[in-house]
Structure 1
Amino acid sequence: MAESTVQIPTVAPVRRSLRVTGKRRPGTAERILDVAGDLFAAEGVRAVSTNRIASTARISPGNLYYWYADRQAIVRALFARYARAHAAVWDGIDPDNVTPEWLDRLVAAGARITADHPYFARDLITLVRDDEELAEAYRAVRVQRRELFGRVARGWRKRGVLVPVDDNRLNHVVEALLVLAESWWAFAQLDDERPEPVEGERLIRALIEPYLVPGVQGAPGPSSVRLAADAGR
């Protein structure tokens, strides 16, 4: 079985030419990202300074700058982590032969990743406008995700899982799915300060399901995702 080959941007910590001591152990770089991610999620990227991140992480500003040159470098490293999480969802899966039974897993995992990185759902457009390096990494990942979604859709159309649609329509559906997958959290937050991933799952399913052929072998019926969402109303 062929597996997906998604290339993820690599953003390494700065780590200037200083000897790593106990105080500057490699785990510090990940702890900085964890703390920054929590602060960005709660307050927004622009509202959080590197000094605030260092203070919350209980390290000196100099220790933070040893690993990351500035806040933008931290944002880029968090984006690389975010992109790796999305790529990991496809581990061991052949995009050309995804069965509809995998739909719940893929949708749920993607919605959870978005909810775990709300600052990208909320602030991504501004962030990429301010940072060309981040914009380049984002465009590369977006192209790769579009290709993965497109391969799944074309495989389903070929096997009769999707209703007949031409290439133009199929591409529009794939693009709409990609936009929704990246942005649902920001809009859901207008009604709920901390939207649950099930909300994203429900919206994505609402987009996909009208294009599935009813009764096709393996095509999902009412999912546990949708039933859970309906039960919570």
Structure 2
Amino acid sequence: MARKAPRRTAERIAEVSLALFNRYGEPNVSTTLISSELNISPGNLYYHFASKDVLVNHLYDRFESRMLPLLEAASDVKDIEDSWFFMHSLFEQVWSCRFLYRDLNNLLARNLHLERRLGWVLERKVQAFRVMLQSLAARGVLHLDTGSNETLSTSMNVLLSYWLSYEYVRDPRHALEPEHGSAALERGARHVLLLLLPHLTSPHDRQHLLRLTGAYSGDMHHTG
């Protein structure tokens, strides 16, 4: 069997950096640490990424390229089951690049590229939720009063975008470790989806949503 070619150095740098940023937070990871982890010289790292911000931007651009097609699928959400899948998929993307959400304010304060792109993606998320809610309302799944769509789509986006910050504050030493990812995602998805509950038109859909969200945590009484 032919041996697999080694991954290109730039790809290895990106993958290792992402893991380090996600685990320790971007401000706590230096290029020296990244080089040491990869067993390469700092010069080799800088050959591929001229600065840590360039590396961060590369990771962000890759994240955005995966998030945008998912947001464009919002119009395909037709029922509660679709909503569950859509929400969980969004949270999985957020988790995959969670350092962006954990260190959001710090990154925005110094990185013009992120300042421009993250604000735009934030609005795209709101727009995707608007489309999702409109799709559900058009099929009679939801009843939305005038103005409810805007309020609800914004609230859903706030929870999606800041849920991991909440998890981190609750348990800074463990919340964003890989082994806690599944539980954190499920709690976040549960809380976002439960915003739909007062707007559902069918008792069957309300019960189905409660079953789905109850299955996330195994305990509907746990709200944190």
Q: How is 1:27-38 mapped onto 2 (pairs within 5 angstroms)?
A: 27-38=8-19
SS of 1:161's equivalent in the other structure is coil
TM-score by length of 2: 0.80
2:118 maps to which residue?
138
Structure 1 residue 176 corresponds to structure 2 residue 155: yes
Task: Tell me the residue number matched to 2:96.
Answer: 116
Change (3 A) 1:28 1:45: same
Bigger relative contact order, structure 1 or 2 (CA pairs below 8 A, ≥6 apart): 1
Q: 1-side partners of 2:68 and 2:162: how far apart?
A: 18
In terms of fraction of residues, the more helix-rich structure is 2
Q: Which of 28, 31, 38 is equivalent to 1:47?
A: 28
Per-residue CA deviations over 1:2-53 (Å, capped at 9, x if unaligned) read: xxxxxxxxxxxxxxxxxxxxxxx87222211111112112221111111211
CA contact (8 A) 1:108 1:201 kept: yes
- The answer to whether 1:200 aligns with 2:181 is no
Structure 1: how far apart are the matches of 2:208 and 2:11? Answer: 39
Q: Which runs of 5+ in 1 are unaligned?
A: 1-24
TM-score, length of structure 1 as denominator length: 0.78
Alpha-carbon separation, structure 2, partners of 1:213 and 1:204: 18
User: Which AA in structure 1 matches 2:33?
Assistant: R
Whether contact under 8 Å (1:118, 1:186) holds in the other structure is no
Cα distance change on mapping 1:77 and 1:215 into 2, 3 Å: same
| Displacement of 1:72 | 0.7
1:144 Cα deviation (Å)? 2.1
Output the CA distance in 1 between the equivalents of 2:88 and 2:205: 22
Partner of 1:227: 215
Q: Secondary structure at the match of 1:89?
A: helix
Structure 2 counterpart of 1:187, from 166, 178, 200: 166
Q: Which residue does the alignment assign to 1:67?
A: 48
Instruction: Give the superposition deviation at 1:146.
Output: 2.0
CA deviation vs aligned residue, 1:127-172 (integer Å, no higher than 9, x gap): 1121111111112222222222111112222332212311x33111
Aligned CA RMSD, in angstroms, stands at: 2.5
Offset of 1:97 from its aligned partner? 4.4
The answer to whether 1:151 aligns with 2:139 is no
- Asked if 2 retains the 8 angstrom alpha-carbon contact of 1:104 and 1:223, the reply is no
Q: 2:200 aligns with which of 212, 219, 226?
A: 212
Aligned-residue sequence identity (percent) comes to 23
Is the 2:78–2:139 contact (alpha carbons within 8 Å) kept by the matching residues of 1? Answer: no
For residue 107 of structure 1, the aligned residue among 79, 87, 109 is 87
**Deviation at residue 220 of structure 1 after TM alignment:** 4.4
Relative to structure 1, is the Cα distance of residues 39 and 222 closer, same or farther in structure 2, using a 3 angstrom cutoff? same
Q: For residues 37-81 of structure 1, what are the alpha-carbon distances to aligned partners after superposition, in whole Å with 9 as ceiling and x for unaligned?
A: 121122211111112111112221111111111111111111122
- How many pairs were matched up? 206
* Structure-2 change in CA distance of 1:180 and 1:228 (3 Å): closer
Unaligned runs of 5+ in 2: 1-5
